[in-house]
A and B are shown apart, each in its own frame.
Chain A
């Protein structure tokens, strides 16, 4: 069984929203980014440091309490994306609701970093999902993540969400047929009791 991953689109209200309305919508989006930490390696430690009291990115409206990708607006891929992990990255990205944003945090997720000629490392997470902001560093400072968030917020403030522009940007990454098991999974039955 396959399921269609539809091309991204925006609702009729968003498409017809006049400029002041769009301003308010973008303002709301940029200051309530529920973040989903895709921590894969050591960069995740710096992400956690950025979420702690000293740097505290809740000040910037980034909320690290999303229960899962289905409730998140922003995915921060921090760490080495291996080819084995790549389907999971793609799957969790597909589960996120539109509009969604991705920050690639650190050299490994930017372009593979030190592992750029490894046989098993994805050469940058942008091969799998569209990335909005690239934060350089190995690992980047927590402040560098805060600055990446500021760059993303500026981008959200200026964006005009229209179906056409969205498809132009995300087209290469979407509109494919995926197997149902790739994006959803039925309830897992408990193992049979053998007593």
Chain B
């Protein structure tokens, strides 16, 4: 009986505690979710950067990227110059019904033409509409978030601590080292050797 009563009291205490807090339900269709910039929603294409090098299509584990291109010749600009050839992208399509969102295409792209976008609202009623052509992929470019800073920001006290650590008192090499600014992180291996 005491076990029952203590359990009841515990349950009622939990109820009382959660009664005062707000529900954490996200009102999705009315309020858009704030997604982190690393979200893998959709792959956006910056067409100007694409050189149709086919690296993404070849590295894709699913083979879900389709690229068509042709070569165009630019005549020489100076007398006796050489004519230059460059690729022109005709078709760039990603089949999002196959895509496994691994991000390998984005990582191998040597010219930064592909980006992750947190956009996820592209359900279709026809499977053929999931094959997104370069026009649609380009429309997702404005939704691409700004890149994260390369060096993550440290709390102020920790950053100051680092600066104090690397400043030697009477090291002959001290003259060569530039003073580190606050917030700059020493890379491993660049600290002063005694």
Q: What residues of chain A have their CB less than 8 Å away from a CB belonging to chain B?
A: 53-56, 59-60, 107, 110-114, 116, 124, 126, 131-138, 140-141, 143-144, 146-148, 150-151, 155
User: Does chain A have a CB within 8 A of B121?
Assistant: yes
With A60-B29, A107-B98 known as contacts, the answer to whether A134 contacts B130 (CB < 8 A) is: yes
Residue from B27, B97, B125 in contact with A136 in the complex, judged by beta carbons closer than 8 Å: B97
With A54-B26, A110-B130 known as contacts, the answer to whether A138 contacts B101 (CB < 8 A) is: yes
Sorted nearest first, the 9 A-B pairs with minimum C-beta distance are: A110-B97, A148-B123, A111-B97, A136-B96, A144-B120, A138-B101, A114-B100, A138-B100, A147-B121
A55 pairs with B123, CB closer than 8 A? no
A54 pairs with B130, CB closer than 8 A? no
Interface centre among B39, B101, B120, B126 (most CB of A within 10 A): B120
B121 pairs with A107, CB closer than 8 A? no
B22-68 contacts to A (CB < 8 Å): 23-29, 33, 35, 39, 41, 61-62
Across the interface, which residues of A come within 8 angstroms of B127, CB to CB? 110-111, 124, 126, 131, 134
CA distance A53 to B28 in the complex (A): 12
Across the interface, which residues of A come within 8 angstroms of B41, CB to CB? 141
B116-145 contacts to A (CB < 8 Å): 120-127, 130
B98 pairs with A53, CB closer than 8 A? no
Across the interface, which residues of A come within 8 angstroms of B122, CB to CB? 136
A113 pairs with B100, CB closer than 8 A? yes
A112 pairs with B98, CB closer than 8 A? yes
With A114-B61, A150-B29 known as contacts, the answer to whether A54 contacts B24 (CB < 8 A) is: yes
